[in-house]
Amino acid sequence: MKTKSIIITIFLTSFLTGCTWMFYDRTQDYYDEFKNSKKLIARMDIRTQESRSDINNARIVFEREISDIHDITKAYFVVGRSSYSFKIDQNGFFKIDTDTYEITLDNITSEQKAETEISTSTYHKSDSTGVSSGSSTDSDTHLWIDDKFLFTLTPEMISKIKMANVLNIRFYFGPEPGTFKIKGYDLNIIKRILRD
């Protein structure tokens, strides 16, 4: 009987700790004592809708800041793109269901990133002539650019998002578009921070 209860305890512990990602909430709210305001934040990672594109995923953070003097919502983006793509245009488009708004991107910065993967292999060979050994090292470097920027949502946009079924956000990188669709759970966490 004691063995059975130990096995059940181990199983439940490993199951619950392994499934904590299921309970991870991508929203956050807190009081910012330095700005004397309440902050509500929603985070998400969204894939671009274009296939065979030089534009990669976007890390998006929607932030609502509420104080006695203002209620402002901003969308912060980090969009990865290949190192041989064009820089992002100053303007983009924000489509809420069927209503489209032109948006101006603020504080655009670009950072070149690199990641190098090094693999080493060794060998030992033994035959009638003796023993030999050696090693070889291979490296692979991946280069990309992260564009960081934000835009501010208008009261009209916020009102429409609260009732929306889908959001599409389009940016242009020279001739190439990058479209990010937000729906379902991701849209619901944005709606959660926009509630009155």
DSSP H or E stretch at residue 196: none
Q: Which of 12, 30, 175, 23 is nearest to 89 (CA)?
A: 175
Q: Which helix (H) or strand (E) holds 3?
A: helix 2-18
Q: Residue 83: inside a domain, yes or no?
A: yes
Number of domains in the chain: 1
pLDDT at 185 over 80: yes
Q: Are 19 and 170 in contact (CB under 8 A)?
A: no
Average pLDDT over residues 184-188: 94
pLDDT category at 30 given cuts 50, 70, 90 is confident
Confidence check: pLDDT of 40 > 50: yes
Q: What is the CATH number of the domain that holds 183?
A: 2.60.40
118 confidence band (pLDDT: 50, 70, 90): confident
pLDDT tens digit sequence for 134-167 = 777 888 877 889 999 999 999 999 999 999 999 9
Would you say residue 113 lies in a domain? yes
pLDDT tens, residue by residue, 78-111: 999 998 899 999 999 999 999 999 999 999 999 8
Question: What pTM was computed for the model?
Answer: 0.77
Three-state secondary structure call for residue 128: coil
pLDDT at position 22, please?
Answer: 45
Task: Give the pLDDT confidence of 46-87 residue by residue, as tens digits.
Answer: 999 998 899 999 999 999 999 999 999 999 999 999 988 999
Q: Is residue 13 domain-resident?
A: no
2 in a structural domain:
no
The verdict on residue 103 lying in a domain is yes
Q: Which structure tokens are listed for 26?
A: 């991508």
User: Residue 6 burial (CB < 10 Å; 0-12/13-18/19+)?
Assistant: exposed
| Local structure of 20: helix, strand or coil | helix
pLDDT at 108: 94
Range of the domain at 147: 26-125+135-194
Residue 20 in any domain: the answer is: no
